[in-house]
Chain A
Amino acid sequence: EAGVTQSPRYAVLQEGQAVSFWCDPISGHDTLYWYQQPRDQGPQLLVYFRDEAVIDNSQLPSDRFSAVRPKGTNSTLKIQSAKQGDTATYLCASRLRTDQDTQYFGPGTRLLVL
């Protein structure tokens, strides 16, 4: 079984540029999460989906961040007009709603905003 995949693995931007991160969850997983992990910190939940519906996006840092999952499979997280404070690793995770024990994480996208 293929794990959660993410792309790109790395991104370097100047402040003000836009960037999109892509996540392909484990096939059949109906719940998908995006986390932001600053250096030397734990992951912080940004948004999560059940199928194509946003369950909670209240932790998205600002209206510069948006996330979609239009067909309930792959998902895209976008940052408009990136700031240096957005420098972090962005993690995607997925699970089946019936699996209460864990989430399965992707390798992450490391973002550096100069």
Chain B
Amino acid sequence: GQQVQQSPASLVLQEGENAELQCNFSSTATRLQWFYQHPGGRLVSLFYNPSGTKHTGRLTSTTVTNERRSSLHISSSQTTDSGTYFCAIDPDTGYQNFYFGKGTSLTVIP
């Protein structure tokens, strides 16, 4: 089956530091997405990024499909960035059935 591995499992930053989250996946035929989940909150899509680099605000996602990896860079972290970040792949069956990694738990301290 599809496998998604994320690293690190957890990360603690001082406010203002940068973070780099990694995702490795088992299949090249995938549509990749990054999600964010605030503690106790709902999952929210950050990026749909099957290949290349995308930016939004302080977030940058880079996916290298043929190397089966993606990264999420958070610059100048803020306490409100705390939460869990998930990488998910869709084997492109046409129905968008996601396989999620276990997530990276980010804590930003003031």
The interface of chain A, by Cβ under 8 A from chain B, is 3-4, 31, 33, 40-45, 48, 50, 55-56, 91, 93, 95, 100-103, 105-108
Instruction: Tally A-B pairs: CB < 8 A.
Output: 53
B42 and A107 form a contact (CB under 8 A): yes
Contact of B43 among A41, A43, A48 (CB under 8 A): A43
Closest to B43 in A: A105
User: What secondary structure prevails in chain B residues at the interface with A?
Assistant: strand
**Interface residue total, chain B, C-beta cutoff 8 A:** 20
The interface of chain B, by Cβ under 8 A from chain A, is 4, 31, 33, 41-45, 48, 86, 88, 95-103
B100 and A43 form a contact (CB under 8 A): yes
With A43-B43, A107-B41 as given contacts, are A95 and B96 in contact (CB-CB < 8 Å)?
A: yes
Nearest first, the 5 A-B pairs at minimum CB distance are A42-B100, A102-B45, A101-B48, A105-B43, A105-B42
